[in-house]
Amino acid sequence: MMQSRIEAKWIDAFVQVFRLSGVQVGETAVVLSETQSRPVNVQLAELALAQLGARVFHVVLRTPALTAPVPVRSTGASDAIAGLAPVVQALATSGFVADLTVEGLLHASELPDILAGGARVLMVSNEHPEVLERCLPDTALEPKVKIGMRLLKQARHMQVRSAAGTDLSIGLTGARVGGGWGYTARAGSISHWPGGLCLAFPAAGSVNGTLVLNEGDVNLTFKRYLERPVVLTIQNDFVTDIAGQHLDAELMRSYFAAWGDQAAYAVSHVGWGMNPRARWDAMAFYDKNDFNGTELRAFAGNFLYSTGANEVAGRHTLGHFDLPLRRCTVLLDGQTVVQDGQLQGELA
């Protein structure tokens, strides 16, 4: 296990990212955490905001009791606020929110009300600070992610293929497009650090085909590199078959089934990674407790397929898989944006 003491270089890293997020002297800023948040990151956020001259206060929530039948990891849908109106009001009326909750506010039910108040929310992923240090945002990434988001918004169809056998057809009509580059300076917006993603949440009934998780692809819910292929059959958004007679497939079948919820089998979002600083092989260097896996969602050229909650399709569940795949080709209306795991054109 790595040490988690305060390091000056990590304060500097937080200062750099908060400055990119527009934190100003005298601005009201809040550190949002919960009782199971990573203490060193909470402290680094407080110190960095103080160094920037912000007026800082700290909201600490009790980590709620477990309600799920299995462990829940990396959903981006923290339930720590639990609808508490005074907390929502405090966050919404602040200029900047450093989100240090365990799961993060990205898909939290309270987020729309918080953003409607004009707050800028930066979700700091629950990583060891060294991961955050390595994945410091690069301002050159912002325009490229914006180009990718624009291509997604303009497209009506995504096709994903790979030599391993992936062949997915994804309708994008009615999809909600998102993305991030690791910071946000716009009022009423949210981003996350590490960043570097272009995503779409498809409308109901938009995804069909075969998804092959090959050796070396990643199941981030389990924080595990696959050792043997798993073949998912997807019909009208839902995984209908999980093929493979080995541990990787058995683990997926078991976790899916444990929810007793059909929505857990459905697509949440699809997209690709944009961040050249994020590494596919990084997970091999960290204990599971030190690594949340946001970096592997963002490594440049991955195709990211996720199952679980999708507000656009009207599906809500805590069951969630994030599955970054290597060596895929992604086409938007026939235009190749990722070729065999390599970003193309203006995205490269």
Which two tokens mark 319?
């069951």
* Residues forming a β-bridge with 56: 29
Domain boundary among 110, 134, 158: 134
- Label the pairing between strands 96-99 and 28-34: parallel
pLDDT value of residue 3: 81
Which two tokens mark 257?
């089934």
* Residue that is written with structure tokens 């949002």 in the block: 32
Q: Are 196 and 256 found together in one domain?
A: yes
Say how far apart CA 294 and CA 125 lie, in whole Å. Answer: 7
Q: Residue 191: inside a domain, yes or no?
A: yes
Cis peptide before 39 (omega within 30 of 0): no
Q: Are 12 and 30 found together in one domain?
A: yes
Say how far apart CA 158 and CA 202 lie, in whole Å. Answer: 10
**Burial group, residue 71, by CB count within 10 angstroms (0-12, 13-18, 19+):** exposed
Domain boundary among 83, 105, 134: 134
Q: Are 102 and 157 found together in one domain?
A: no
Q: Are 279 and 176 found together in one domain?
A: yes
pLDDT value of residue 176: 97
Which two tokens mark 329?
């080709």
pLDDT value of residue 1: 60
Q: Are 127 and 211 found together in one domain?
A: no
At 97, which CATH number?
Answer: 3.40.50.980
Q: Residue 119: inside a domain, yes or no?
A: yes
Q: Are 100 and 145 found together in one domain?
A: no
Domain boundary among 134, 152, 176: 134
For residue 117, give its domain range: 8-134
Say how far apart CA 335 and CA 259 lie, in whole Å. Answer: 38
> How many domains are there within the chain?
2
Q: Are 37 and 81 found together in one domain?
A: yes
Q: Are 145 and 288 found together in one domain?
A: yes
Block means of pLDDT (10 residues each) for the chain, 348 residues, are 88 98 98 98 98 98 92 88 97 98 94 97 97 97 98 98 98 97 97 97 98 98 97 98 98 97 97 97 95 96 96 92 98 98 97
- Label the pairing between strands 328-332 and 335-339: antiparallel
- Label the pairing between strands 328-332 and 120-124: unpaired
* Three-state helix/strand/coil letters over the chain: CCCCCCCHHHHHHHHHHHHHCCCCCCCEEEEEEECCCCHHHHHHHHHHHHHCCCEEEEEEECCCCCCCCCCCCCCCCCCCCCCCHHHHHHHHCCCEEEECCCCCCCCCCCHHHHHHCCCEEEEECCCCHHHHHHCCCCCCHHHHHHHHHHHHHHCCEEEEEECCCCEEEEECCCCEEEEECCCCCCCCEEEEECCCEEEEECCCCCEEEEEEECCCCEECCCCEECCCCEEEEEECCEEEEEECCCHHHHHHHHHHHHCCCHHHHEEEEEEEECECCCCHHHHHHCCHHHCCCHHHHHECCCEEEEECCECCCCECCCCCEEEEECCEEEEECCEEEEECCEECHHHC
Q: Are 168 and 220 found together in one domain?
A: yes
Q: Are 266 and 197 found together in one domain?
A: yes
Q: Are 323 and 270 found together in one domain?
A: yes
Which two tokens mark 330?
């992604």
Which two tokens mark 338?
């990722």
